[in-house]
Structure 1
């Protein structure tokens, strides 16, 4: 769960594609004045009767065939995604009362308060017993999110998904970590289409062509395990399918650089490099985080390019959870103070794993 000058009158842009020059003209004002036919005729007279020479400024950039192909595909995707933007924007449905948790199940300390907990400055670094408990919590979270994914279909409500997830978690003797965290009223986050994250399950039915991120965190034997996946609902268009696929690839690109001694900022660099190949935006407002006995702690994991100091340590656990968008990365948050959507209504996708840093790499804990 995730814790912003044309100086000449005529310009040409030039690209070299397969060693063939391509020129396209673009109109630009000269000192704020449009280039009119009057200006053109005056220039012609000057050419004939003087030594005046018109100057062309040509901006050239060498573009590989692959880069140009990606640019063209991206433009097509944006046109294709118009259909997804035309679908009705998300509206909050009816939110039912939070579900009960049996008294015998251990609850995290924040449940007794509706205040949003501070991010702990304590890094989560574990001994062998702690690692064993983290593995158990994370494995359960992985099983739950996969089960939740099997429920995704047109007409099911996100509230029904929440009920099923809640029941599976408490049946396993665990507590659903989001429930009561800073007043969050449900046991899972369900973020549909343009919802970046922290969507609250409600009475809205999933529609054919939706995408939905299901974010599961469980608290088992005093340790949190956190994971999320974005699922396709019915017949999803190609643009949104590719967004989901690339977002998952970005997660694994970020994990691939992790090991003892690696700088945290390499995660954001690697994710951004891959996302930029496809023209996707990487959301910078929401970050990964340390996790263990505490739900959210340092280090904060930025998924975009950054200059964050600090390096990874063997035995440390944290989440990586990039959010990519098909359009703007700017966001708006509903009055519930949780549900966060892209400002332009474009689709967003997210994937998340909890990982353990080792000497030679990273172990993904949220698998089974």
Structure 2
């Protein structure tokens, strides 16, 4: 994967615009996500919104990906491909999406509740989202990638969940996947030093049961081995003046959920 590519102030300005559009794309999905809709329909919404705003979906065509979003339902951890199965009351779904605008990618994921979700599954989502922000807090000047990884792992395991080890966060920039890798487990004080201009996607992938995962027959979706639910939240984050700046946002998603689903 090589060495991290540190971003200039001008690069970051472009990445903020890409990331803002990505947040607004997620909100278009959030408005429409409910029992009865298919993930293919959600994919079409994302594709059209990104194109209408003069950008490209980062995932479409990347490693031959056939869709603009990845939709992972219930026991799918990540990389689920959109299909024609309607979402059902009680499902959870991670929607992962990327936007390529003016030469730069942004990447974020949000796990949505469909209708009335069981309290123990809602708690899995809560802890996974908390782990994301705890990881972000540890992205500060002088720390190392292992400090982010360790903080995420500790929070997840303290709450009796498990961290997926086969998949990791990553650098983001002119390419969707850049150095360094950002695992959600590991030793504090290890790994790449965090410096100004570093941009990474931090993305805890957390299982309710065992941490073991399998790849499905479609060659894409990663599922939990024990069939229990998994959650996934992701932000693109830059180090600016020694502190983390979250480039992507869940603000538009949360506004849409309040407006359309409460």
Task: Write the distance in 1 (CA, Å) between the matches of 2:10 and 2:241.
Answer: 18
Deviations 1:268-324 (A, max 9, x none): 111111112210001111100000101101100010124742211101101100011
Q: Does 1:200 align with 2:81?
A: yes
**Partner residue of 2:196?**
314
**Partner residue of 2:205?**
323
Which of 144, 156, 160 lines up with 2:41 in the alignment? Answer: 160
Matches within 5 A, 1:50-61: none
- Output the aligned Cα RMSD: 1.2
Note if contact 2:196-2:242 (Cα within 8 Å) is conserved in structure 1: no
Deviation (angstroms), 1:259: 1.4
Q: Aligned pair count?
A: 249
Deviation (angstroms), 1:360: 3.2
Task: Write the distance in 2 (CA, Å) between the matches of 1:122 and 1:163.
Answer: 35
Detail structure 1 runs of 4+ shifted over 4 Å in the superposition: none
**Partner residue of 2:175?**
294
Greater relative CO, 1 or 2 (CA 8 Å, sep 6+): 2
Q: Does 1:227 align with 2:118?
A: no
Task: Write the distance in 1 (CA, Å) between the matches of 2:9 and 2:178.
Answer: 20
Deviation (angstroms), 1:193: 0.3
SS of alignment partner, residue 155 of structure 1: coil
**Partner residue of 1:103?**
none
TM-score (normalised: structure 2): 0.92
Note if contact 1:124-1:318 (Cα within 8 Å) is conserved in structure 2: no
**Partner residue of 2:139?**
258
Deviation (angstroms), 1:257: 1.0
TM-score (normalised: structure 1): 0.66
Deviation (angstroms), 1:159: 0.3
Task: Write the distance in 2 (CA, Å) between the matches of 1:149 and 1:328.
Answer: 29
Task: Write the distance in 2 (CA, Å) between the matches of 1:251 and 1:330.
Answer: 20
Deviation (angstroms), 1:266: 0.6
Which of 21, 26, 46 lines up with 1:145 in the alignment? Answer: 26
**Partner residue of 1:54?**
none
**Partner residue of 1:339?**
221
Unpaired stretches in structure 2, ≥5 consecutive residues = 252-262
Note if contact 1:247-1:351 (Cα within 8 Å) is conserved in structure 2: yes
**Partner residue of 1:359?**
241
SS of alignment partner, residue 139 of structure 2: coil
Task: Write the distance in 2 (CA, Å) between the matches of 1:238 and 1:272.
Answer: 22
Note if contact 1:124-1:293 (Cα within 8 Å) is conserved in structure 2: no
Q: Does 1:304 align with 2:185?
A: yes
Task: Write the distance in 2 (CA, Å) between the matches of 1:249 and 1:202.
Answer: 30
Q: Does 1:172 align with 2:53?
A: yes
Deviation (angstroms), 1:254: 0.3
Task: Write the distance in 1 (CA, Å) between the matches of 2:5 and 2:202.
Answer: 14
Note if contact 1:259-1:358 (Cα within 8 Å) is conserved in structure 2: no
